[in-house]
């Protein structure tokens, strides 16, 4: 029995491609959920989702210009993502409307442009590969690139963490120190885009935001402390990645969607059983709710 379990857990990683996939997932799981927690705290979860689609035209154009070169496709995605952020905040500045409305319009345009470019060019680039990723085809160079970028994001997060937190809670505090809150916001959005670009090779542009947002959203049901929320989000992402790879290997399922579905299962469990705002907790304390109601 124990042997079977051990075999189930370890045998997939006899293959180098599975080990590389796991390493890429670990790199993603160590960075994306931190960004996700900060995004959810800012009430900007959907911005992260929208941005993940906005990188598509950049990837497509890079591919058309330079062929299948992952670094250049990532660079293209980064440029497209940052351009979307810049245009969205300019629109919001000029029109006085909220940034997310501009972002919602832009990401649809960007997404359509990306699909159009790929289709019109009749290119051999598999649209499915870009949209859904192909975690099992991560080669050594891709892995190095993913790990290096993830490390860069982690270092940048560590160095600016307090500023990012204060900018969430009380941006004027930063402005008073002579640090323009806009810079902090810009840096944060850059890290969001960078983190999505890292994710697109493995999970695809459609689902790169999944590992970022779902564990973060789930963690809010378990803790009211920032540090433990981040730790839980990372733990959840790691667990979903490992379990997702194992399940997809043994059951012959596509690995990216399996991982995201498992983070979704984690979210539903948290929603039901989480001690903070979870459904069971709410059902157990109807008295306080009605007390507020009257």
Q: Which residues bind other proteins (CB under 8 A)?
A: 41, 96, 159-163, 165-166, 168-170, 172-173, 175-178, 220, 223-226, 229
Question: Cβ 193 to other proteins, closest distance in Å?
Answer: 23
The nearest distance, CB 169 to other proteins, in angstroms, is 5
DSSP-derived 3-state class of residue 186: helix
Smallest separation (angstroms) from other proteins to the CB of 23: 29
For residues 37 and 230, the answer to whether their CB atoms sit within 8 Å is yes
Contacts of 249 (CB under 8 A, 6+ apart): 12, 18, 255
Smallest gap, in angstroms, from Cβ of residue 282 to other proteins? 15
Residue number, 159 or 272, with CB nearest to other proteins:
159
Report the C-alpha dihedral over residues 51, 53, 54, 56, rounded to 10 degrees.
Answer: 140
Q: Which is nearer to other proteins, 120 or 176 (CB)?
A: 176
Nearest to 186 by CA among 35, 85, 110: 85
**Which residue lies nearer to other proteins by CB, 142 or 175?**
175
Identity of the residue, 49 or 167, whose beta carbon is nearer to other proteins in the bound complex: 167
Q: Are 193 and 81 in contact (CB under 8 A)?
A: yes
- Nearer of residues 249 and 267 to other proteins, judged by Cβ: 267
CA distances from 195 to 14, 22, 119, 209, 220 (A): 29, 17, 26, 9, 21
Is 117:61 a contact under the CB 8 Å cutoff?
A: yes
Looking at the Cβ atoms of 96 and 286, the one nearer to other proteins is 96
Least separation in angstroms between CB 162 and other proteins: 4
Structure tokens given for 79: 């440029």
């Amino acid at each position: 029995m124990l042997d079977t379990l051990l075999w189930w857990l370890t045998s997939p990683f006899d293959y180098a491609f599975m080990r590389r996939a796991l390493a890429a997932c670990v790199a993603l799981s160590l960075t994306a959920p931190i960004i996700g927690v900060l995004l959810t705290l800012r009430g900007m979860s959907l911005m992260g989702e929208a941005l993940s689609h906005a990188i598509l035209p950049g990837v497509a154009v890079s591919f058309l210009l330079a062929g299948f070169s992952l670094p250049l496709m990532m660079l293209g995605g980064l440029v497209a993502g940052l351009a979307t952020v810049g245009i969205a905040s300019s629109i919001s500045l000029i029109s006085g409307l909220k940034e997310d409305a501009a972002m919602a319009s832009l990401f649809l345009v960007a997404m359509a442009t990306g699909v159009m470019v790929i289709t019109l060019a009749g290119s051999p680039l598999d649209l499915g590969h870009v949209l859904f990723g192909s975690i099992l085809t991560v080669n050594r160079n891709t892995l190095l690139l993913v790990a290096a970028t993830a490390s860069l994001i982690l270092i940048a997060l560590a160095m600016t963490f307090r500023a990012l937190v204060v900018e969430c809670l009380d941006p004027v505090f930063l402005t008073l120190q002579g640090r323009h809150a806009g810079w902090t916001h810009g840096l944060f959005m850059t890290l969001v885009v960078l983190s999505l670009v890292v994710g697109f090779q493995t999970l695809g542009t459609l689902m790169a935001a999944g590992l970022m947002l779902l564990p973060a959203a789930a963690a809010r049901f378990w803790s009211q402390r920032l540090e433990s929320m981040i730790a839980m989000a990372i733990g959840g992402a790691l667990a979903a990645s490992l379990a997702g790879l194992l399940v997809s290997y043994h059951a012959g399922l596509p690995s990216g969607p399996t991982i995201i579905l498992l983070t979704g299962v984690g979210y539903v469990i948290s929603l039901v059983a989480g001690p903070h705002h979870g459904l069971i907790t709410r059902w157990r304390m109807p008295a306080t709710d009605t007390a507020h109601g009257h």
